Amino acid sequence: MNHFLECLKVSKRYVGPTGTVEALHTIDLACDYGSFVCLLGTSGCGKSTLLQLVAGLETPSEGQIIVNGREIDGPSKDLSVVFQDHGLFPWMTVRRNVEFNMKARGTSRAERRARGQELLDLVGLGAFAERYPHELSGGMRQRAGIARALTTAPKLLLMDEPFAALDAQTRADLQDELLQIWRRHTTTILFVTHNIDEAVLLADRVVVFSPRPGRIKTIVEIGLPRPRDPRSAGFAALVDGLRDEIGQKPAGLA
Amino acid sequence: MPEPTRLLGLLPILLLLLLWQITAAAGIYSAVLLPPPLEVARAFANEPGTLLAHALASVTRVAIGLALAALSAIPLGFLIGRYRLLDRLTDWSIQMFRAVPPIALIPLALLLFGIGDRPAIALIFLAAFWPLLINTIFGVRSIELTLIKVARAARASEWLIFRDIVLPGAMPAILTGMRLAIGGGWLTVVTAEMIAVRSGLGYLILNAQMTFRSDLIIAGIIIIGIIGLAADQGIRLLREQLCRWQEGLTAAPR
């Protein structure tokens, strides 16, 4: 058992006013260090819940999650989270936002400044450091969110539908940049999406979820060489196969 | 369109002065009851010391009452806003007590504190306490849950979450509460001074009525108005300093 991330029989139940809802049902999942894993499924299938559990923001009702040999019992030093709606603090400049995760760890001011600038430059926001988030475009905000997550050099990067709210062109650009970042800074990525094309473009492995209760339906290895061409026959075949798996019609939500 | 100048705010005031002058000159009321503007100006010139002393007495009472209210209501609001148990515990009481106009408590305040500064300050405290408390609670509640999650995922301490997220996030609402508190406190001080104290603008006005000094009545009213305006401008400046990030985010005209 030397996987970097392991979920062992993880279940999550919520007790609500209408009774108990089982969000996740005995999830078993193992990811190697440096791999890019996509959690794919329709909304309500529990894929985001699993991410919250791995992030240590919620606790499993049953089972264990192990990251880097330690059981998760709260937010871990080894990982960072990128949230769907960027999660930037509106009252902080982009720079202060990007420096926040380091501040939370007690990094010195000088080091925060240097490392923050480095990451801002990496995502192309060097000139926008003193702006407030609302003064930026959606794509730039998500870049800032990614930069903030990377400042602590996480071994595991959790991304919760980070590009879902972006237009097609911006999303394609950011997917490309994310792959470059992933290649250059060896890190494990757990990436939640409901977009099949996105999963096939990015992942080494796609974990397909089915809803009510959320569980893993199948795991598909994406053997395509990188960089991947979405217009290739192999790509289309994988997309079609996954579409059948999650029972999504071609004209349905993408 | 060019930005309209702030001085435009003087126009309605000048028109009112003009109307006052015309009414006084028309002789509908005798000059003893409604003196013309010039005579009131003379009252300002002849008795600046008296007017200033009364104004200072009122402002001091409001300042003390407000400060006490802010020191107790804002921290309490943070706690109630953050902890559900405290909310359940206090909600009914808050809704019940805030519905009681402080003026209705003047007789009780007189019985308990006698004549003097203490009943007046106690009433101002109550007038300012509820809007500050309710707005602080609202401000804390209105902070997006994602932002708290971002901070928790980054392993931020409770203190950092308070200082960098809860406090700035609730600040706009707290300043709204401050604005309402100043209005309520100011309203209460004038009323309380008419009954419970022998100094201040409320006392000045009531005393002037008994001595047929309508010029002093109007002078007192003008001072009340000017101080009200100054306090409001002060809050506006404070908001510009503390909530600069909101510029361009809200529909509020600047």
Q: Do B156 and A77 touch (CB under 8 A)?
A: no
The residue length of chain A stands at 254
Side-by-side strand order, sheet with A62-67: A19-31, A5-16, A62-67, A70-71
- Full DSSP string of A7-72: EEEEEEEEEETTEEEEEEEEEEEEE-TT-EEEEE--TTSSHHHHHHHHTTSS--SEEEEEETTEE-
Residue A249 has φ and ψ, to the nearest 5°, of -75, 150
Could you tell me the two tokens for A196? 């099949």
Q: Do A89 and B164 touch (CB under 8 A)?
A: yes
Residue A252: its pLDDT value, please? 45
Q: Between B187 and A247, whose confidence is greater?
A: B187
Size of interface A-B (CB pairs under 8 A): 63
What gap in Å lies between CA A183 and CA A186, rounded to an integer?
Answer: 6
Task: Find the closest chain B residue to A82 by CA distance.
Answer: B150
Instruction: Give me the residue from A75, A77, A100 closest to B152, CB to CB.
Output: A75
C-alpha distance from B146 to closest chain A C-alpha (Å): 6
CB contact set of A17 (below 8 Å; sequence gap of 6+): none
Which band of pLDDT confidence, cut at 50, 70 and 90, is reported for residue B179? very high
Residues of A in contact with B147 (CB under 8 A): 87, 89
Q: Could you tell me if B157 lies within 8 Å of chain A, comparing CB atoms?
A: yes
Q: Do A92 and B164 touch (CB under 8 A)?
A: yes
Q: Select the residue from B145, B155, B175 to test the A interface by mutation, using most A Cβ atoms within 10 A.
A: B155
Residues of B in contact with A59 (CB under 8 A): none
Residues of B in contact with A81 (CB under 8 A): 149-150, 153
For residue B5, give Cα distances in angstroms to A245, B99, B230.
64, 39, 18
What gap in Å lies between CA B222 and CA B226, rounded to an integer?
Answer: 6
Taking the mean position of all CA atoms in its chain, how far away is CA B133?
A: 14
Residues of B in contact with A132 (CB under 8 A): 245, 249
**Helix intervals (H) in chain A:** 47-54, 94-104, 109-122, 138-150, 168-184, 196-202, 233-245
Q: Using one digit for the tens of pLDDT, what is the confidence trace for B208-252? A: 999 989 999 999 999 999 999 999 899 989 988 888 888 777 666
Q: Do B146 and A90 touch (CB under 8 A)?
A: no
Q: Do A134 and B248 touch (CB under 8 A)?
A: yes
Residue A228 has φ and ψ, to the nearest 5°, of -95, 145
What gap in Å lies between CA B157 and CA B136, rounded to an integer?
Answer: 21
Residue B247: its pLDDT value, please? 76
Block means of pLDDT (10 residues each) for chain A, 254 residues, are: 83 87 88 92 87 92 90 90 91 94 92 93 91 91 92 92 89 91 89 92 91 87 86 88 76 46
What gap in Å lies between CA A195 and CA B227, rounded to an integer?
Answer: 60
Q: Using one digit for the tens of pLDDT, what is the confidence trace for B14-48? A: 999 999 999 888 888 888 888 988 889 998 999 89
Asked if the peptide bond before residue A213 counts as cis, ω within 30 degrees of 0, the response is: yes
Q: How many CB atoms lie within 10 A of CB B227?
A: 17
What gap in Å lies between CA A183 and CA A198, rounded to an integer?
Answer: 17
Residues of A in contact with B164 (CB under 8 A): 89, 92, 100, 103
Read off the amino acid at residue B168: P
Instruction: Match 């990451």 to its residue by tokens.
Output: A119
What gap in Å lies between CA A94 and CA A122, rounded to an integer?
Answer: 14
Residues of B in contact with A75 (CB under 8 A): 152-155
C-alpha distance from A215 to closest chain B C-alpha (Å): 24
Instruction: Give me the residue from A57, A89, A91 closest to B153, CB to CB.
Output: A57
Q: Do A105 and B152 touch (CB under 8 A)?
A: no
Could you tell me the two tokens for B38? 């010039």
Instruction: Give me the residue from A89, A90, A105 closest to B155, CB to CB.
Output: A105
What gap in Å lies between CA B32 and CA B30, rounded to an integer?
Answer: 5
What gap in Å lies between CA B131 and CA B230, rounded to an integer?
Answer: 20
C-alpha distance from B96 to closest chain A C-alpha (Å): 28
Residues of A in contact with B169 (CB under 8 A): 89, 91
Instruction: Match 């289309």 to its residue by tokens.
Output: A236
CB contact set of B182 (below 8 Å; sequence gap of 6+): B62, B66, B128, B231, B232, B235
Task: Find the closest chain A residue to B143 by CA distance.
Answer: A89
Q: What is the mean pLDDT of residues B128-135?
A: 96
ipTM of the shown complex: 0.87
Rg (chain A; Cα; Å): 18
Q: Do A83 and B146 touch (CB under 8 A)?
A: yes
Q: Could you tell me if B162 lies within 8 Å of chain A, comparing CB atoms?
A: no
pLDDT, averaged across chain B: 90
Please tell me the pTM assigned to this model.
0.84
Taking the mean position of all CA atoms in its chain, how far away is CA A241?
A: 23
Task: Find the closest chain A residue to B159 by CA distance.
Answer: A104
The widest CA-to-CA distance across chain B, in whole angstroms, is 75
Q: Select the residue from B245, B247, B250 to test the A interface by mutation, using most A Cβ atoms within 10 A.
A: B245
**Type and span of the H or E element at A205:** strand A205-210
Q: Select the residue from A58, A89, A92 to test the B interface by mutation, using most B Cβ atoms within 10 A.
A: A89
Rg (chain B; Cα; Å): 22
Residue B98 has φ and ψ, to the nearest 5°, of -75, -15
